């Protein structure tokens, strides 16, 4: 009798650790970095980290939905660039400063949604595998941003725009607030709405979802629109902080960071399973590693190696878990 | 428990496989305990038991997928405390799984020689030799499959033969067949039995797992019964009737598993569904029939006769290209399952794993899947309390063996899963319920419960269409049977005219 109770406790303990792996990893990593490096643990640095991860983190939120529904979106970084370039250029056309800032907000948002919808259209109506469709649009969107910006940087001299991007509320910068707010909304969307349930159903078993009268194409389409929406928001935050956007560098390899964050956070690449909280943990794990490496004066060119190793380890652990 | 008798057969030395006091637990739960029996060389033994009796675990112990906790497996005189997949293959133990392990994009020949390719000069594949070898093997099984054909172009029966041929090519001495006929129709089953008899002559043994007791009676020399992980008995099939076998399986007297038959609807009964010259893009042509309120209609036919396709046309999954469909007096052409569900049509797909359930989801999530938006959401937000309550209701209504709705679907047995699938569709309050192979691969008790449930549905005025390859089921349940052949209606049988012979005549086109 005693034995079985003990076994059950052990099992519960084990389950707790497997289910909360990303968060435990995050806490361990954070504690370790804070103890080992005095620059790292300064409050300003910690706040900086949250700002540094905000843009790719927002992209990761949308990516989580796409991956859970069984797809992938490689175009989020390029879409960010083209949306940001269009936003700043549009803003520069408007003389009065306040409407200009509004334009700089809504233009990237709309372009992001259109770009996401185009991806969704190719994948659901065109029936092109998501990897290939978004590989194509990755190239298309980047090329458009280069074309419009003449492969250079588009800047604005709108001071309000810059102030919005750099404003700090309760000691925490705006991009961080937006990231937290969106993460909260997306978490509710995934867990507590029929849309979120349908996304999981489609990613788990598309055939069963179809027979269960779920609008498979519409729901899949909407996940790409969400990803595009995230790119648009990130484009606004990104460009307003610097008051400019580089058509070549903006959002470069964001798609990889976003996918990596989702995977580290426990989202299954095969679809059907994942959580927003996990993705947020994944975003911070990646952000802390990049930041800590700088603080430790690690060679810049080796940062990618560490990041890659973390992703591989995360996936290794995930596959071992599914085997068991 | 009394120690089971080993060696009911005359010559002990002839035993190819002996299982001795085998036991296995999964995370503290005993799934097998004290299993002992033996299988003579060149004989066919049935392995029967309800779902959860431990058949699959026993198979996994024998073919090396899992290791037993205790006991021995004695194969060909050598004793092993456990198998590995590799060792089992080397010894010649081959399992024909329900889901075949063939590479769809390779040819039959390549599949048969997979892992033991013939080579020239040790490097280059000897296609000619492999082709001849594959041809000879397939011929010896009495089936005409082109060794160069792609596996993806074969039907399930042919794929099964390729699996068997591959096993023979690996010098197989014991075939374990897990529910081999669930995917086969009557004539294909007959052919499989011929092959099994042929194997038997070549001194190959077969461990034959099936729910279909009449098959056990037909093909097996002996049978072993498991119940709740324990060994019950091994006996010769000729000494037992199928009814006695069933009683051994469930451990109590089993009354008739079918409810009393519904009468035919009166001629002036209200009509629910009428099809007029309905045709789909492929296979199904010019189907016309009408279905009254509360009627149970069986649809029989061979595999590939278009029964599932017709149902999927009515459910909006396949496109109706010509003809008309009237539902509740109004014309209805469902373009998607959403349209069909909205109109009041429910469909239980034939493939429970692939299309009926989401295995990684909770039971309650599965049961609320179709009606989630209509019944359990306000403003798009899921009302989890309501979902939970409804799950509890269905669990007790169908007596599903689950502590609550939070159990993962893949932890339930086939019968309980199927009840969950039916609950899912029932939750949409349908007026027409189409069951496609409603009891495939599930235990007798759940089967009977599902039959009684269908009868209750019909009494309450819901019309039911039963598509089934299990003739006994169609005959036992339906007062009217429509037989399909090659996408068309071959004939309609009513009441006492319904019998196995008549159905087969129509299905095969003899009549």
DSSP H or E stretch at residue A197: helix A194-204
Query: Which of A10, A199, A211 to probe the B interface (max B CBs under 10 A)?
Result: A211
Closest CA in chain A for residue B351: A208
Closest CA in chain B for residue A210: B337
Closest CA to B460 of B437, B426, B492, B436: B426
Closest CA in chain B for residue A195: B380
Contact A213 B340 (CB under 8 A): yes
Closest CA to A277 of A8, A11, A22, A12: A22
- In order of B307, B311, B490, the CA distances from B509 in angstroms are 16, 22, 8
Residues of A within an 8 Å Cβ radius of B: 4, 7, 11, 188, 192-195, 197-198, 200-201, 204-205, 207-215, 272-273
Contact A272 B359 (CB under 8 A): no
B509: alpha, beta or left? (left if phi > 0; alpha if psi -120 to 50): left
* Residue B66 contacts A, CB cutoff 8 Å: no
Instruction: Tell me the β-bridge partners of B80.
Output: B73
Closest CA to B433 of B318, B326, B294: B294
* Residue B363 contacts A, CB cutoff 8 Å: no
Q: In this structure, are residues B423 and B450 in contact, taking their beta carbons and an 8 Å threshold?
A: no
Of B27, B337, B382, the CB nearest to A210: B337
User: In the structure encoding, which two tokens stand for residue B200, read together?
Assistant: 């038997």
Instruction: Tell me the β-bridge partners of B24.
Output: B32
User: In the structure encoding, which two tokens stand for residue B2, read together?
Assistant: 């009394």
Distance (Å, rounded) from C-alpha A261 to C-alpha A280?
7
Of A197, A204, A207, the CB nearest to B372: A197
In angstroms, what is the C-alpha Rg of chain A? 21
Closest CA to B16 of B172, B225, B146, B154: B172
B28 vs B131 pLDDT, higher one: B131
Of A192, A208, A215, the CB nearest to B358: A208
Is the model's pLDDT at B365 over the cut of 80? yes
Environment class of residue B307 by beta-carbon count within 10 Å: exposed (0-12), middle (13-18) or buried (19+)? buried
Output the pLDDT for position B337: 93
Contact A198 B372 (CB under 8 A): yes
Please report which confidence band the pLDDT of residue B104 belongs to, taking 50, 70 and 90 as the band edges. confident
Query: Which of A194, A212, A323 to probe the B interface (max B CBs under 10 A)?
Result: A212
DSSP H or E stretch at residue B196: helix B186-201
Q: In this structure, are residues B416 and B402 in contact, taking their beta carbons and an 8 Å threshold?
A: yes
Count how many residues are written for chain B: 511
Most confident of A67-81, B164-178, B288-302: A67-81
Closest CA in chain B for residue A206: B355
For residue B15, give how far its alpha carbon lies from the nearest alpha carbon of chain A (Å).
36
For residue B357, give how far its alpha carbon lies from the nearest alpha carbon of chain A (Å).
6
Distance (Å, rounded) from C-alpha B292 to C-alpha B333?
19
Output the pLDDT for position A79: 95
Which residues from A are below 8 Å from B373, CB to CB? 194
Which residues from B are below 8 Å from A193, CB to CB? 377, 380-382
Q: Is B411 helix (H, G, I), strand (E, B) or coil?
A: helix
Which residues from A are below 8 Å from B369, CB to CB? 197, 201, 208-209, 212, 214
Most confident of A95-104, A304-313, B133-142, B425-434: B425-434
Share of chain B above pLDDT 90, in %: 24
Which residues from A are below 8 Å from B355, CB to CB? 205, 207-208, 210-211
* Residue B370 contacts A, CB cutoff 8 Å: yes
Query: Which of A213, A217, A219, A323 to probe the B interface (max B CBs under 10 A)?
Result: A213
Contact B361 A213 (CB under 8 A): no
* Residue B360 contacts A, CB cutoff 8 Å: yes
Of A192, A208, A210, the CB nearest to B382: A192
Cα torsion angle, A125, A126, A132, A133, sign: negative
Sheet (strand B320-327) strand order: B287-292, B271-280, B320-327, B330-331
Q: In this structure, are residues B41 and B14 in contact, taking their beta carbons and an 8 Å threshold?
A: yes
Share of chain B above pLDDT 70, in %: 95
Please report which confidence band the pLDDT of residue B252 belongs to, taking 50, 70 and 90 as the band edges. low
Which residues from B are below 8 Å from A215, CB to CB? 336, 338
Output the pLDDT for position B507: 80
**Sequence-distant (≥ 6) Cβ neighbours of residue A80 within 8 angstroms:** A55, A59, A112, A231, A232, A234, A235, A238, A250, A251, A254
Output the pLDDT for position B260: 85
Of the listed ranges A1-10, B41-50, B420-429, B486-495, the least confidently predicted one is A1-10
Which residues from A are below 8 Å from B357, CB to CB? 205, 208
Distance (Å, rounded) from C-alpha B188 to C-alpha B194?
10
Q: Angle at CA B466, nearest 5°, toward B457 and B284?
A: 135
Q: In this structure, are residues A83 and A108 in contact, taking their beta carbons and an 8 Å threshold?
A: yes
Which residues from B are below 8 Å from A195, CB to CB? 380
- In order of B185, B186, B463, B466, the CA distances from B284 in angstroms are 19, 21, 22, 17
Contact A210 B317 (CB under 8 A): yes
Output the pLDDT for position A324: 42
Output the pLDDT for position A145: 92
Closest CA in chain B for residue A212: B370
| Residues 373-392 in B contacting A (C-alpha not used; CB under 8 Å) | 373, 376-377, 380-382, 384
Q: Where are the alpha helices (H) located in B441-493, listed in sequence order?
A: 444-459, 471-477
Contact A204 B359 (CB under 8 A): yes
Q: Is B155 helix (H, G, I), strand (E, B) or coil?
A: coil
A190 vs B378 pLDDT, higher one: A190
* Residue B262 contacts A, CB cutoff 8 Å: no
Query: Which of B26, B315, B360 to probe the A interface (max A CBs under 10 A)?
Result: B360
In angstroms, what is the C-alpha Rg of chain B? 24
Beta-carbon count within 10 A of B416 CB: 24
Distance (Å, rounded) from C-alpha B304 to C-alpha B307?
8
Chain A with chain B: Cβ pairs closer than 8 A: 75
Strand ranges (DSSP E) for B328-375?
330-331, 345-348
Contact A209 B358 (CB under 8 A): yes
* Residue B114 contacts A, CB cutoff 8 Å: no
Closest CA in chain B for residue A5: B28
For residue A189, give how far its alpha carbon lies from the nearest alpha carbon of chain B (Å).
8
Digitized pLDDT (tens) for each residue of chain A, 324 residues in all: 456 667 777 777 777 777 788 898 899 889 998 888 888 888 888 898 998 899 999 999 999 999 999 999 999 999 999 999 999 888 888 888 788 888 889 999 999 999 999 999 999 999 999 999 999 999 999 999 999 988 888 888 888 888 888 888 888 899 999 999 999 999 999 999 999 999 999 999 999 999 998 999 999 999 999 999 999 999 999 998 888 888 888 888 899 999 999 999 989 888 888 999 999 999 999 999 888 888 888 888 888 888 888 888 887 877 665 544
Of B349, B361, B376, the CB nearest to A211: B349
Cα torsion angle, B232, B236, B242, B244, sign: negative
**pLDDT (tens digit, 9 = 90+) per residue, B52-75?**
688 888 998 998 888 888 888 998
**Sequence-distant (≥ 6) Cβ neighbours of residue B285 within 8 angstroms:** B279, B487, B488
Environment class of residue B392 by beta-carbon count within 10 Å: exposed (0-12), middle (13-18) or buried (19+)? middle
Of the listed ranges B216-220, B288-292, B300-304, B386-390, the least confidently predicted one is B300-304
**pLDDT (tens digit, 9 = 90+) per residue, B147-164?**
888 888 888 888 888 888
The pLDDT mean for chain B works out to: 86
DSSP state of B354: I
Of A192, A208, A214, the CB nearest to B355: A208
Contact A213 B341 (CB under 8 A): yes
For residue B425, give how far its alpha carbon lies from the nearest alpha carbon of chain A (Å).
8
Domains present along chain B, CATH in parentheses: 1-92+174-250 (3.40.50.300), 102-172 (no CATH)
Contact B317 A211 (CB under 8 A): yes
Is the model's pLDDT at B184 over the cut of 60? yes
Closest CA in chain A for residue B340: A213
Distance (Å, rounded) from C-alpha B366 to C-alpha B353?
12
Distance (Å, rounded) from C-alpha B137 to C-alpha B165?
6
Q: Is B166 helix (H, G, I), strand (E, B) or coil?
A: helix
DSSP H or E stretch at residue A202: helix A194-204
Of B358, B361, B380, the CB nearest to A193: B380
Q: Is A233 helix (H, G, I), strand (E, B) or coil?
A: helix
Distance (Å, rounded) from C-alpha B417 to C-alpha B355?
12
Environment class of residue B330 by beta-carbon count within 10 Å: exposed (0-12), middle (13-18) or buried (19+)? exposed
Of A4, A193, A198, the CB nearest to B28: A4
Is the model's pLDDT at B46 over the cut of 90? yes
The residue written with tokens 């034939």 in the block is: B350
Distance (Å, rounded) from C-alpha B233 to C-alpha B224?
6
Output the pLDDT for position A133: 94
Contact B382 A197 (CB under 8 A): yes
């Amino acid at each position: 009798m005693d034995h079985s109770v003990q076994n059950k406790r052990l099992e519960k303990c084990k389950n707790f650790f497997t289910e909360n792996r990303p968060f435990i990893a995050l806490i361990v990593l954070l504690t370790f970095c804070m103890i080992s490096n005095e620059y790292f643990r300064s409050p300003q640095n910690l706040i900086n980290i949250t700002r540094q991860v905000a843009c790719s983190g927002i992209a990761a939120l949308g990516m989580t939905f796409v991956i859970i529904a069984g797809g992938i979106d490689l175009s989020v970084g390029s879409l960010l660039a083209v949306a940001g370039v269009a936003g700043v250029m549009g803003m520069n056309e408007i003389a009065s400063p306040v409407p200009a800032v509004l334009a700089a907000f809504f233009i990237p948002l709309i372009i992001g949604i259109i770009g996401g919808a185009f991806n969704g259209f190719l994948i659901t109506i065109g029936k092109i595998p998501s990897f290939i469709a978004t590989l194509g649009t990755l190239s298309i969107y980047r090329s458009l941003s280069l074309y419009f910006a003449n492969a250079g940087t588009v800047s604005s001299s709108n001071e309000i725009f810059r102030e919005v991007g750099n404003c700090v509320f309760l000691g925490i910068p705006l991009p961080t607030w937006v990231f937290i707010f969106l993460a909260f909304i997306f978490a509710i969307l995934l867990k507590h709405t029929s849309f979120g349930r349908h996304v999981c159903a489609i990613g788990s078993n598309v055939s069963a979802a179809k027979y269960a009268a779920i609008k498979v194409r519409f729901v899949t389409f909407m996940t790409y629109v969400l990803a595009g929406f995230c790119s648009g928001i990130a484009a606004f935050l990104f460009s307003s902080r610097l008051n400019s956007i580089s058509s070549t560098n903006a959002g470069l390899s964001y798609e990889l960071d976003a996918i990596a964050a989702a995977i580290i956070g426990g989202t299954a690449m095969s679809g059907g399973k994942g959580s927003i909280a996990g993705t947020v943990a994944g975003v911070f794990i990646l952000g802390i590693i990049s930041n800590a490496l700088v603080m430790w004066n690690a060679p810049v060119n080796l940062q990618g190696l560490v990041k890659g190793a973390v992703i591989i380890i995360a996936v290794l652990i995930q596959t071992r878990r599914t085997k068991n | 428990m009394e120690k089971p008798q080993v060696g009911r057969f005359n010559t002990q030395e002839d035993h190819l496989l002996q299982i001795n006091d085998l036991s296995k637990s999964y995370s503290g739960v005993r799934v097998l305990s004290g299993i002992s029996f033996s299988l003579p060389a060149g004989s066919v033994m049935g392995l029967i038991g309800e779902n959860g009796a431990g058949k699959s675990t026993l198979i996994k112990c024998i073919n090396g997928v899992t290791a037993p906790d205790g006991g021995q497996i004695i194969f060909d005189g050598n004793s092993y405390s456990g198998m590995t997949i590799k060792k089992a293959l080397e010894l010649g133990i081959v399992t024909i799984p329900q889901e075949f392990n063939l590479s769809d994009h390779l040819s039959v020949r390549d599949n048969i020689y997979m892992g033991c390719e013939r080579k020239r000069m040790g490097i280059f594949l000897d296609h000619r030799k492999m082709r001849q070898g594959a041809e000879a093997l397939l011929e010896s099984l009495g089936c005409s499959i082109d060794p160069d054909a792609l596996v993806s172009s074969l039907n399930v029966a042919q794929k099964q033969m390729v699996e068997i041929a591959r096993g023979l090519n690996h010098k197989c001495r014991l075939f374990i067949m897990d529910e081999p006929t669930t995917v086969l129709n009557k004539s294909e089953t007959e052919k499989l039995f011929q092959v099994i008899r042929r194997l038997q002559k070549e001194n190959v043994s077969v461990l034959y797992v099936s729910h279909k007791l009449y098959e056990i009676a037909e093909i097996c020399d002996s049978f072993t019964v498991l119940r709740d992980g324990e060994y019950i008995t091994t006996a010769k099939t000729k000494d037992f009737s199928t009814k006695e076998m069933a009683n051994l399986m469930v451990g109590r007297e089993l009354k008739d598993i079918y409810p009393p038959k519904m009468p035919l609807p009166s001629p002036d009964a209200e009509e629910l569904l009428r099809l007029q010259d309905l045709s789909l893009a492929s296979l199904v042509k010019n189907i016309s029939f009408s279905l009254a309120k509360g009627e149970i209609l069986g649809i029989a036919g061979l595999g590939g006769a278009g029964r599932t396709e017709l149902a999927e046309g009515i459910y909006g999954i396949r496109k109706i290209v010509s003809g008309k469909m009237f539902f509740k007096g109004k014309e209805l052409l469902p373009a998607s399952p959403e349209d069909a569900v909205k109109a009041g049509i429910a469909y239980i797909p034939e493939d429970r794993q692939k299309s009926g359930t989401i295995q990684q989801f909770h039971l309650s999530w599965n049961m609320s899947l179709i009606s989630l938006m209509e019944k359990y959401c306000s403003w798009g937000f899921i009302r989890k309390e309501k979902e939970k309550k409804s799950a509890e209701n269905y669990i007790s209504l169908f007596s599903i063996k689950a502590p609550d709705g939070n159990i993962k679907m893949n932890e339930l047995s086939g019968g309980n899963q199927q009840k969950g699938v039916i609950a899912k569709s029932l939750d949409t309050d349908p007026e027409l319920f189409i069951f496609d192979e409603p009891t495939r691969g599930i235990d007798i008790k759940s089967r009977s419960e599902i039959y009684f449930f269908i009868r209750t549905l019909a009494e309450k005025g819901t019309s039911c269409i039963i598509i089934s390859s299990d003739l006994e089921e169609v005959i036992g349940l339906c007062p009217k049977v429509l037989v399909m052949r090659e996408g068309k209606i071959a004939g309609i049988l009513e009441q006492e005219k319904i019998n196995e012979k008549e159905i087969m005549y129509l299905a095969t086109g003899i009549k």
